[in-house]
Structure 1
Amino acid sequence: MDIDMHNRDPNDVNSNVRVSFDDVLAEPEGAHSIDCVWKLSYCCFNCGKNCAYRCMTFFFGICIAFYWGCEFAAIAFEQIWIVTPMLRVFAIYCGSCQKFFSIIINCCMAPVCQTCGLFFSQITVNHGEGGGQRSF
């Protein structure tokens, strides 16, 4: 796989940390510094930001990248070799439990529910002229 040296964030993962001079420092109308101060501030901001970032990545970037590579390898290993097989075992056991409870409910609860259904199906309500007589 080739590395794109120009677009280093093709998936826009770090769009929230795009920081430029205009995002941090701004002078509203009526409060302007001298033009040379504003221009030098721009240069100092960019120089400081770029130098500090490059120094930190030079000293720590490779080690941190190695750490995150190992971390994501461990996560992939856990998902492939531990979590997915455990979920499959859990699904098998749940299928057995589902059959077990289905048999119990069909044996114990179904006759009771059918009897109640037959009992209550025999109830009739008559709204006659006598003020709503009910016969059972």
Structure 2
Amino acid sequence: MAVDPESLDMEMRDPNNLNEHVRALWEDLIGEPTGTHSMDGVWRCSYKCFNSCKACCYKVLTVLCAVPASIYWGCCFAMASFDMIWCTTPCIKMYLMQFGACKLLYGTLVRMCCDPCCESVGRCLSDIRVTQNKE
């Protein structure tokens, strides 16, 4: 189902949490244990530098690469869909039809060859009676 670009949620851009594993917040990456603290000013400056640089770099990369990457991935998924719809699924259906005929032929040949032998052995062994000696 295609979504109208005007109705995109500009706040929640990962509603299915596809990229939760890529989350890189300061609190998830940097932590000073008790007894090992830098100066408060350094800690605050590092926090601001990390977040600003990460945001700026990500925005520059998306400006340069997001549209070409979208085109690439759109083409990849289109080719995969085309392959599944027009090549793979019909090929599988064709093989299933062929294997169905082979299964029928093979089953018939096995029954022709094995059934008489199995019936003969079964008739030979069917007259065996087991009795107990009470000595």
TM-score (norm 2): 0.91
The one-letter code matched in structure 2 to 1:67 is: Y
Query: CA RMSD, aligned part only?
Result: 1.1
Do residues 116 (structure 1) and 121 (structure 2) align? yes
Q: 1:80-117: CA deviations, max 9, x gaps? A: 00001001101100110011011101111111112222
Runs of 5+ consecutive residues of structure 1 not aligned to the other structure: 131-136
Equivalent residue letter for 1:84: T
Q: Does 2:17 match 1:21?
A: no
Runs of 4+ in structure 1 off by over 3 angstroms are none
State the 1:123 CA deviation: 2.0
What fraction of aligned residue pairs are identical, expressed as a percent?
A: 36
> What residue number does 1:76 align with?
81
Return 5+ residue gaps in structure 2 as ranges. none
3-state DSSP of counterpart to 1:125: coil
Cα deviations by residue, 1:5-24 (Å, 9 ceiling, x for unpaired): 11111111111001100111
**Within-5 A mapping of 1:98-113:** 98-113=103-118
Aligned partner of 2:65 among 60, 63, 83: 60
| Deviations, residues 36-90 of structure 1 (Å, cap 9, x unaligned) | 1111111111011111111111101110110000000000000000001001101
Matched position secondary structure for 1:32: coil
Is 2:5 the partner of 1:3?
Answer: no
- Residue correspondences, number: 130
Q: Select the structure with the greater relative contact order (CA < 8 A; seq sep ≥ 6).
A: 2
2:127 and 2:19 map into 1 onto residues whose CA distance is 70
| Candidates 20, 28, 34, aligned match of 2:39 | 34
C-alpha separation in 1, matches of 2:124 and 2:33: 82
Aligned counterparts of 2:127 and 2:33: Cα–Cα separation in 1: 84
TM-score by length of 1: 0.90
